[in-house]
Structure 1
Amino acid sequence: MERRRAIIVAVALVAVAALAGLAISLSRSSPPQEAKDTPSSANTSEPETGAEPDSGDSVPAVISPEELASAHSVMRNYLVAVGTYTYQTDEKAWKAKAQALTDGSKSMSDQTSLPAGRAWADCVKTKCSSTATAHLERDTVLSNAPVDGAGRSVTTLASTAVTLRQDKSSTQSTDFAITATYTSGEWKISGLQLAGVGNAGISEHS
């Protein structure tokens, strides 16, 4: 009886040892499971193919450089036109040419004018002439309304130098905030505000 019990115990121990060995073998041959929902796996994810990092350079310009150059050209032409005339200038023709650069508003029509009254009388008496130059300092406001291009506008700080030749020649420097608006397929001057007046000095004798 004792011998039979010893045999049963020995067989049981052999079976337990075999099962333990099988478990170890299976654990070694099975591939390790991937970690899920861990900080390291989230940080090592690769970006999608073709995706590019967002950068400030990818933001489109409010107004393209080409359009900005066109707006600046109209600004210069207008500032030079309103400051250039002689005592023989035909007022109607002069105004029509200068006003063609504006949006045609009443405010711009009122600002686009030759000297009047005594100033013009003195110009005629002295056979005066006036010439102007314009320099654009910097753009202060750029706007681009997203409706068929309407409403695009540029406001620029500009300086002009107007030389008036009468009995004596003097040059007046003036700063303006000038606005050009894109309308009907063209840039037109839509605003002009005085920003500062420099010193007027006698540059030469006539």
Structure 2
Amino acid sequence: MKQFLLLGLIVISALTFWSALAQAQASEGQQPLTRQEQRQEEVKAALRELHQHQVELTALAEDRAERDAILELTDTLQTDHKRLYERLMEVEEEDASVVSGTRMRDTQAFEELKQQEGAEFEAAYLRYQERLHLDALELLERNLPGEGEVSEYARHVKATHDTLRQHLALIQQNQQAGDREAET
């Protein structure tokens, strides 16, 4: 399974590199971005980082988690984030600009997470995932397209928002189950 994760990380990194290269080449003769376009690029950059970070979190969880429920959650998150990442790469081909976006990881918390194992890891992992998903949802809610907007970007943001809300519910269910298990 770790080989699959490593291969997935390599593929995602290669896609990101080639996408950024193509975007940089295409943007050489373009007009400056409008404020709305710049904000969209920032949202896409933040989502790209979130999706890529899930690969690292999956590898960590598979190595340190004990409960099957956590491993199932991790598998669901990885599958969905990989799908959303691939779709985002398609959306990014529409417009060719590269903007550094909002950071969607807490480096210190992630480093602390890497030091934990077992039940302690699982509780910290769920808290970390909850924070990531809440932050991403907040970003998306501030930038949700209007009802009449039908661009690829708008569809992607709405689909990502819905998926992250589902993830948050699963994460919180797992937190409650872990709390109940700890009480017994």
Same fold (TM over 0.5): no
Point out the structure with the larger strand share: 1
TM normalised by structure 2 equals 0.25
Q: Which has the larger radius of gyration?
A: 1
The structure whose RCO (Cα within 8 Å, separation 6+) is larger is 2
